């Protein structure tokens, strides 16, 4: 009975409000609502027993919230399931990877620290050898530069000791001191040429640095690139020597570079860094040829043969 009176009162209030509106459509809407009364839902106050206290209400609310949360989470058996053997293997594998990468990183940092010292030493050698372009006496220039060879020997021995800690990993860490080695070879080869007029051989370069081919040797490609770097210094040396009055120097350098270029032509080089440096040697040879021909045309060159062997002409 109470629900019937409630619906009737709702309908009456709706009709009275809609009568004052300019739009007559809400009246039909209210009448339709009165014909179809809303479903009956028990009030919360009616469903709670009278003997339930405030603390009981809070406990009921917590229970309802916990039950709703448990519906959205995984079952208890799955949440506390033991780890599978596959996850244990993955964890162990990546733990080994972590230790391996940390050891490799520490080893690489030690190598780079020594390579930095090698670079500093080669800078001192290069600054000493630059005095040869100022017509300084060659023995004086070489004496100062040779003092750094012992330092380089000690530094390369330190790198060899580090590499021995990881046998078979020479070429894995080779790039960390490769450019410094090429610079060292170029300086040693230039010093050897200034002293003897010949090319520094691969075995001689290893001997100067106290390297052993079986354990820690000089890479062949590093040696060849270093020789190409050395040829870049010769055109400048020739120009300065001619300026100082040494008109026979272009003939000697031209003979040396011609033989060196012909030797490199025997190699089947790929399109890599070594091939680019070898191509640069051709321009060095051309610059020396131009200086030699200028001296020859002006009648300043000696009458020696291009092969540089003065004794042959004297004997004939």
Give the right CATH number for 105-230 from 1.20.58.190, 3.10.290.10, 3.40.640.10, 2.60.120.460: 1.20.58.190
**18 φ, ψ (degrees, to nearest 5):** -75, -20
Domains 105-230 and 232-310 share a fold: yes
pTM: 0.68
CA distances to 59, 127, 244, 260 from 286, rounded to whole Å, are 98, 26, 21, 13
Query: pLDDT for 268-281, tens place per residue?
Result: 888 789 999 999 99
Residue 212 DSSP symbol: B
Query: pLDDT for 40-75, tens place per residue?
Result: 544 444 444 545 454 454 554 554 445 444 444 445
Average pLDDT value for residue range 307-314: 39
Q: What percent of the chain has pLDDT over 90?
A: 49
Render 37-59 in DSSP notation, one character per residue. Answer: PPPP---HHHHS-TT--HHHHHH
The reported pLDDT for the residue numbered 228 is 95
Statement: residue 96 has pLDDT above 60: yes
Nearest-CA neighbor of 263 among 195, 310, 202, 190? 202
Spatial neighbors of 88 by CB under 8 A, at least 6 apart, are none
Cβ contact 139:74 at 8 Å: no
* 50 or 164, higher pLDDT: 164
Band of pLDDT at residue 209, cut at 50, 70 and 90? very high
Q: Structural domain boundaries of the chain?
A: 1-43, 105-230, 232-310
Round to whole Å and give the CA distance between 169 and 143. 37
Query: pLDDT for 211-251, tens place per residue?
Result: 987 778 999 999 999 999 999 999 999 999 999 999 999 99
| CATH architecture under which domain 232-310 falls | Up-down Bundle (1.20)
Residue 167 DSSP symbol: T
The reported pLDDT for the residue numbered 222 is 95
Average pLDDT value for residue range 114-136: 92
């Amino acid at each position: 009975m109470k629900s019937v009176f409630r619906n009737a009162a709702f309908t009456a209030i709706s009709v009275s409000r809609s009568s004052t509106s300019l739009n007559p459509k809400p009246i039909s809407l209210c009448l339709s609502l009165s014909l179809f009364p809303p479903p009956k839902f028990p009030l919360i106050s009616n469903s709670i027993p009278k003997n339930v206290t405030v603390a009981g209400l809070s406990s009921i609310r917590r229970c309802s919230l916990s039950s709703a949360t448990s519906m959205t989470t995984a079952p208890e058996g799955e949440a506390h399931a033991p780890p599978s053997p596959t996850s244990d293997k993955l964890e162990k594998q990546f733990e080994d990877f972590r230790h391996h990468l940390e050891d490799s990183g520490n080893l690489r940092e030690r190598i780079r620290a020594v390579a930095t010292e090698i670079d500093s030493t080669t800078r001192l050698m290069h600054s000493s050898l630059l005095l040869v372009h100022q017509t300084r006496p060659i023995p004086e220039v070489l004496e100062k530069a040779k003092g750094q060879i012992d330092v380089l020997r000690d530094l390369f021995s330190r790198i060899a000791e580090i590499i021995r800690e990881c046998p078979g990993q020479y070429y894995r860490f080779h790039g960390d001191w490769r450019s410094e080695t090429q610079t060292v070879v170029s300086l040693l080869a230039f010093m050897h040429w200034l002293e003897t007029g010949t090319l520094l051989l691969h075995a001689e370069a290893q001997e100067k640095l106290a390297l052993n081919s079986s354990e820690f040797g000089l890479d062949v490609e590093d040696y060849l690139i270093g020789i190409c770097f050395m040829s870049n210094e010769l055109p400048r040396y020739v120009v300065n020597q001619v300026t100082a009055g040494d008109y026979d120097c272009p003939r000697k350098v031209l003979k040396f570079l011609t033989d060196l270029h012909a030797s490199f032509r025997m190699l089947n080089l790929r399109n890599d860094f070594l091939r680019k440096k070898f191509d640069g040697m051709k321009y060095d040879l051309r610059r020396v040829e131009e200086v030699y021909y200028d001296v020859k045309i002006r009648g300043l060159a000696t009458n020696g043969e291009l092969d540089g062997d003065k004794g042959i002409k004297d004997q004939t």
